[in-house]
Chain A
């Protein structure tokens, strides 16, 4: 009979050793489970990057809208942080993400509002975003609709006229070149549409700090409704020449609108920063902007001519020898809240699809729907609505975008 090492040792094995192997297994703490290292990109790190990006956009906006914008942003951030603390106390559980999360949500709510909005609108928007958008669903990780936009559309319902102003021409103010940052938006000078030379050439009388012009998105909506009449067979030229500011003003952010909606360059930089850090997948904004451009290029607009009808494929329009169709598409991309939605709002991780492929579909749907609603819809802030609608379909997108599992037997077709 062979004798194993265990047999030999059994003779002089101390009593304490019996079952020692089992003890070794039992006392193994969970922290000793593999993997032993992590990448270190925690949610706190993601939120911090998002906060930096939003702050950059906000600073650019404050530059063009002055102190009023700063007050709006400060109030929205403070009320968001405050309501997060209150919600945590009331529900007796943390809503997650800490105060940085609340600050990001509050800041983003502030960025969607124009600087001329009353302060209470910003406060209510942030409180709704935290209390209803986040806490009511059970905190970070549980909500299905982007809390920022939940807050935003609620105040849109409650205070529509306070936010966007009265009348068909949604006008807004932006500080003039000499009075950046220090000027007051309330000291505004309405400019004749058509006589507006562009932001950098504007000359204001003494005592006037801001120019009041129509928002680009409002002009595009009027055009979509056929309320801008063609002149001498030229369809797009009246829109571009008379109703819209020069495109470089839109790029710079020198047009009226939400604090964070207009600074197009800042939004692009902030988005590239988030993509570089790896916290925003490039597929989402790329698909969103591409789909929006395509939709703007092909969707027909109601012709303003007397006989009615539709004007098809506006992107191909060439009038007086210039490719006005392309300018029209570019204005669609920079107008309104599309870029803010693409770079800072739609990519919110909890409410966007899991995979890059799903995010591309999600983004493309948002972009196309935004332009569709802008041309044919009635509600304002169409990109926000498009995101909220697509948020609803995220589980569906995730389910249809599952990866094949390696080694799983494929059912024979």
Chain B
């Protein structure tokens, strides 16, 4: 039906100025380790691991540094060859202070990559050993796949939309390794037993769409080009657009039989399953308004953000660093934080936003743009309220935290932040203060 120009889309949302031109055409550049790496000893901050190396040990690239200490945890491998100096703590953007192993690279780059003919029952083991994570939802890949199998998921959607401004990591990945992405998608689809596999990607890149279609020819994967309207990339919105199914409030996408995986996980799975390499590098867009060589970088996990930024070259004093997209990312408070495995972008701005909130002027832009049909202004008043009614609680939980209401608000009201805080209170108990939490 695409022939006739009818595009699948959703009500609400906004076409954002994308700021992608500077980074979209630059190939992914691998950052060579030039100093000590502070490799976090658990992939997603809270997953416990047991170190299997000691200070003074020499390790080679891909060698495990820590083994999982719980079923939902993952191996952590060395990003390069070198010597373990000590164990320490290090700041990360998403998880705060986490334990790490300090690895002094020797510059030899000796690798332990072995291409093993894995079998289907070793599939999950392979994902654990190579340390494949899914950034959204933040889980280990094997846990996500096991949950999908248990929930009887029949639809798999690969999310390569990346509709937030500045982000080009997924785009570059598709340009540089289209065939392996399709292959890894098929492997994961086989593993969960999906009946239908869709690969959602931006329709604006026509040549890339054609390339992906030709790579997917004869495979189970169906390439679905979608408009780059924000937040089309959010799983709830994506499921509604593609399947016309609404994820019930407070439930997960697995409950409606759908699994949406981000392209970053597919890329990691391709590295782990097809190349036999441990996932030790994060592919992230380094961009913003004050960098000399913005681009997509393949960065060893544990690289201090400061060193990465020195390499990219700031042109002006950086006032604000964001890990993740500009609308859903997390502010980086400390320049000594390190790059973690689930980082998708690092954005630097020379001017921090200085909102001066005034009264709501009833313009209705937030209502018009909300992708789930909420009235963010009415939810703003809930923050001051002692008790929250059942209806309001449902509304709060329906919010997908896309940040558009704050983005468009002419009164500069902190709508998204207030809704996030109130939702945390309504959901009961303190939860993580960081990142989108679907």
Contact = CB atoms under 8 A, between A and B. Distances in A.
Interface of A: 2-6, 8-9, 13, 17, 20-21, 24-25, 27-28, 30-39, 41-43, 45-46, 96-97, 139-142, 349-356, 358, 402-409
B87 A354 contact: no
B406 interface: yes
Nearest to A406: B372
A4 B69 contact: yes
A30 B418 CA distance: 10
B36 interface: no
A215 to B, nearest CB: 34
A36 B352 CA distance: 8
28 contacts: A4-B69, A8-B51, A8-B99, A17-B97, A20-B96, A20-B97, A21-B96, A25-B433, A28-B433, A33-B420, A34-B331, A34-B401, A34-B436, A38-B353, A38-B406, A38-B412, A41-B410, A43-B411, A141-B362, A350-B362, A351-B362, A355-B367, A404-B373, A405-B249, A406-B371, A407-B246, A407-B372, A408-B249
* Interface residue SS majority, chain A: loop
Nearest to A43: B410
B20 interface: no
A27 B372 contact: no
A38 B237 CA distance: 21
Nearest to B332: A32
A21 B370 CA distance: 33
Interface residues of B, number: 76
A238 to B, nearest CB: 46
A272 to B, nearest CB: 19
Given A30-B414, A42-B412, A4 B362 contact: no
A34 B416 contact: yes
Interface stretch (B201-209, B278-286, B293-301, B320-328): B320-328
Nearest to B76: A5
A30 B51 CA distance: 36
A346 to B, nearest CB: 14
A140 B87 CA distance: 58
A20 to B, nearest CB: 5
A403 B395 contact: no
B410 A45 contact: yes
B275 interface: no
B31 interface: no
A41 B14 CA distance: 14
A35 B48 contact: no
Contacts of A5: 41-42, 48-51, 66, 87, 99
A6 B12 CA distance: 45
B282 to A, nearest CB: 20
A4 B412 contact: no
